[in-house]
Structure formats: structure tokens, C-alpha cells
Amino acid sequence: MTLADVAETAGVSAITVSRVINQPDKVSASMRDKVQKAIDKLGYIPNRSASALASARSGVLGVVIPSLSNAVFNDVLRGIYDVAGPAGYQVLLVDTHYSPMEEERMVRTLLSQAPEAMIITGGDQTQHTRKMLVKSGVPIVQVMETVESPIDMNVGFSHRQAGYDLVTRLLANGFDRIGFLGARMDPRAQQRMLGYKQAMDTAGRNYDGLIVTTPKPSSIAMGGELLRSVMSSSNGVCDALFACNDDLALGALFECQRMNISVPGDMAICGFNDIETAALVNPSLSSVHVPRYEMGVTATEMVLKVLAGNEVENKKIDIGYTIQMRQSTSTDIHW
């Protein structure tokens, strides 16, 4: 089936069909419906490669994330799709599995599809990946963290500062022996741990035996394992925990309940990312909330603005975060 076949079936010109496919915002709703019915009837599949060659536009937005199984990225992706779709762009998504070398391979694959722009997670790309992105000449936004020297544009927040602020809050609320739980320990988790150490050092607190990490993937079950490990390594004198994500924090919470450790009476627990479950468990889980959906929206709006020929005045945006203190760190119950 060809574009001409669709035009004949719909009773319109080939140019109209092309506009419906490539520039739907320039065609009336009734005409789009008419052409779409012809496309559905014939089973026509547009040749995007041919269209890109003819117009020098691919209509593709490349997105690189480290994990499709990590729910944290769902909100970011939802923001990207909600802006890209109505603007007529298709999102081409790849998963790097937290591997810099896999990211390099995936970026090369994406660039072979001639994306008009790229949104990529973090700022820890290999030298070769960074070089490919720079040479591509397309608008690029690095998301999920603040990047000191962005390739092009950046929307994120400081994981280190967030970790520091959270632990400082716990110390101010009277918790003294604060432990840290970490899994996989990707660059963002490492920054959160550095923030933890900075806050403990500033307060003159010793954290020997209070840090337990693993290179294994994060999960609720892993949170339980790490809770038992930190209780052992700290000789049971740990009175609060900062888990580098909510999965670990929930696992620690459930393990405390199994071990008859009162939360927050005997152990305060705080996570990171503020996933939906955090507010629903009992006791509700304190966490660091990040506006991830807004991050995806902002990043996509930035690249679309550049593609429209407009200048982005602020190329580096700190999206910020808030600390949600809930029942799991309630000082009223603690005291």
C-alpha cells in the first residue's frame, strides 16, 4: 500500500494525506478522521525514513533512560509523552540497564534514526558518547540531576544536596545514629550517599558501621536484607535510616515490622523519590519528593522550543525537591 492508495480511498490529494501524517495540526479534525479511516482500512504504514529524507525531518524524539523497570522514570516519561505527542513527535525510547557502555551503544543506535532531539538521563556519559551527542548537532537535554557542564541543556536537581538536607533534618529532629542503605549505587545514589556523609560530618557524627550498600539491583526484598545488615554492623544502636530509594525504605520498614522493631519509636525510616506507595503504607513513609512529571514536561518543551527556531534563555534548570516528613520519622512518636 502506498500513500497514493490512501489518497484515492479517502478521496483526497496525496499532499493532504502527507499533511495528516506529518503535520496533523495543519489539517482539520474531520479531514484527519477521513484520512485515518482510509489508513486503517488499507493497513497503510507510513515510511518514516522516506519522509525524513524528503523533509529533512524525522519527527522522532530520542529518549535514553537507565531502566524500564524502575517506576521512578514513569512520571518523567509521562511528561515527555504528554508534550511530544500533541506536538506531532514520536518518542523512540531505549533502556541502558545502568551501563555506560550500553548507553554508548544505544545512543549510536538512536542517532542512526536521525532524531530531531534527544533527552538523556544524567551526566555520566562516556567520552565517546558525549562526543557523538555533541557532533549530532541536535538539541539535547540531560535530566534527573544537575550537570556541572551540560552537553547542551539540563533539567534536574542536586541529589547530594537533597541527601544532605534530609539527614540534617533528621539530626535536627533528635535522631543521632543515622544509617544509610544503598543498592546498585549508580552515580545518583552515590551523590545521595555523599550528601549523607557531609551532613553527618558537619554535625560531628560518626557513621562507622552505619553505611551498608550493595551493587545488586534495588528491591523491597533487598531493603529487608540491608536492614538486617546495618543492625548487625551497628550493633543494633542505629535509630534512623536514610534509604537511597523508596523500595529499600519500604523493605526496611516491613522487615522492622517482622522483627518487632517499632517505627518510628525505635527506628525512623526515610526513603527517596516519594513514589505513590510511600504515602499509603502504615506508618506512612517519609521521602524526598521530586517533581518528575514536571521534569519531563520541561525538558520536552525546551527541545521543542529550539526546534521551532526559538532561543531557550535558561538552559540549566534546577527543578528542586521537597522533603515529605510523614509518620515513619515522626518526632512526636519518637519521643
Map out the domains of the chain with their CATH numbers: 3-46 (1.10.260.40), 58-157+292-321 (3.40.50.2300), 159-289 (3.40.50.2300)
Q: Per-residue pLDDT averaged across 93-110, rounded? A: 94
Measured between alpha carbons, how far is 212 from 221 in angstroms, rounded to an integer?
Answer: 15
Residue 109, C-alpha cell as written in the block: 543506535
Give residue 333's pLDDT: 43
Q: At 122, which amino acid appears?
A: G
Residue 282, C-alpha cell as written in the block: 502504615
Tens of pLDDT along 138-172? 999 999 999 999 999 999 999 999 999 999 999 99
Residue 300 has pLDDT above 50, yes or no: yes
Between residues 173 and 112, which one has the greater pLDDT?
173
Question: What average pLDDT does the chain have?
Answer: 92
Per-residue confidence band for 50, with pLDDT thresholds at 50, 70 and 90: low
Closest residue by Cα to residue 143 from 311, 277, 308, 301: 301
Alpha helices in the chain (DSSP H): 3-10, 14-22, 29-42, 48-55, 72-84, 100-111, 127-136, 159-172, 187-202, 220-233, 246-258, 292-307, 331-334
Give residue 278's pLDDT: 96
